[in-house]
Amino acid sequence: MHRPILHQMTTDMRSGLKKFAVLIDPDEVGPSELKRLVELGLENHVDYFFVGGSLVIGDAMDMTIRFLKEHCPIPVVIFPGSIMQVNPHADALLFLSLISGRNPELLIGNQVLAAPYVKKSGMEAIPTGYILLDGGAPTTVSYISNTTPIPSDKPEIAACTAMAGELLGMQLMYMDAGSGAKKPIPADVIHAVRKSTDVPIIVGGGIKTPEKAYEDCNAGADIIVVGNAIEKDTSLIHDIAFAIHSASVTSAG
């Protein structure tokens, strides 16, 4: 199966290049903010736009994806909170299974429902192990998914979960503390997962500073996702992009 976005992520990981994904929640970002995000994304070499959310209430998903595709070459990747967010105009879809949880609907049920549509659309679907970690307080994703996140002081559980995901054939791991998490994922947990799997690791949830993004890259994250903090202050894009891309030099050099 031809998967150019996954291929790029894997090649970058092997080269030690760290990448930055800006997460856009279509409910929170209107046309003028989108335009600004595109400008800042281009200026600061943002690597991906992720679009989605655990709870997308409005109908702006399609408009957001089309706008991004029309106005910039930055790849658009759907990070779906539900099967209703699957959209053929994006460059790729994270085909998630919530492997830290024990909710069969999110392990396989929704994927069965989405599969025929995704196959027919021909879009790139990346088999992704989604690992939810405790972010210090319940988040929308922990509530909506009805799953218990992995405690953030149990790196070994996160590591074994990632190992299982990889053995099941997942090509990407997404470690998430949940959007707006009080506490982002500790570096030692990222490091434990890095040592346990050879696939690219995405890390997100509650990252607000360039320092934390840089620390996570050095701990083994390949792609850092930031949503909330950028919604509040778009100027953060510059400093976080710089921190992530500089971590590449350290790791690769």
Tokens of 172: 């990407």
CA dihedral 237, 217, 4, 162 (to 10 degrees): -130
Say which DSSP state 107 is in: I
Q: Rounded CA gap, 153 and 9, in Å?
A: 28
Query: In 16-154, which ranges are continuous DSSP H helix?
Result: 31-43, 61-71, 104, 110-121, 140-145
Complex with ligand 1GP: residue 2 or 28, whichever CB lies closer: 28
Burial class (CB in 10 A: 0-12, 13-18, 19+), 82: middle
Complex with ligand 1GP: residue 86 or 225, whichever CB lies closer: 225
- The region of 100-108, 114-122, 158-166, 222-230 touching ligand 1GP under the rule CB under 6 A is 222-230
> 3-class DSSP state for residue 59?
coil
10-to-14, 108, 252 alpha-carbon distances in Å = 6, 25, 14
**Residue 116 CB, nearest approach to ligand 1GP (Å):** 26
φ/ψ of residue 243, rounded to 5: -60, -45
- The region of 62-70, 112-120, 123-131, 205-213 touching ligand 1GP under the rule CB under 6 A is 205-213
Q: Single out the residue of 85, 89, 185, 170 nearest to residue 139, CA to CA.
A: 185
**Residue 174 CB, nearest approach to ligand 1GP (Å):** 8
**Residue 172 CB, nearest approach to ligand 1GP (Å):** 13
Q: Rounded CA gap, 203 and 234, in Å?
A: 20
Complex with ligand 1GP: residue 101 or 205, whichever CB lies closer: 205
Among 41, 227, 241, 243, binds ligand 1GP (CB under 6 A): 227
- The region of 5-13, 30-38, 96-104, 220-228 touching ligand 1GP under the rule CB under 6 A is 220-228
Complex with ligand 1GP: residue 2 or 232, whichever CB lies closer: 232
Binding of residue 204 to ligand 1GP (CB under 6 A): yes
**Residue 1 CB, nearest approach to ligand 1GP (Å):** 26
Among 205, 212, 217, 244, binds ligand 1GP (CB under 6 A): 205
Tell me if 53 sits within 8 A of 24, measured CB to CB.
Answer: no
Among 206, 212, 215, 240, binds ligand 1GP (CB under 6 A): 206
**Residue 53 CB, nearest approach to ligand 1GP (Å):** 7
Residue with token string 């429902």: 113
Binding to ligand 1GP (CB under 6 A): which residues in 173-202? 176, 178-181
Q: Which residues bind ligand 1GP (CB under 6 A)?
A: 23, 176, 178-181, 204-207, 225-229
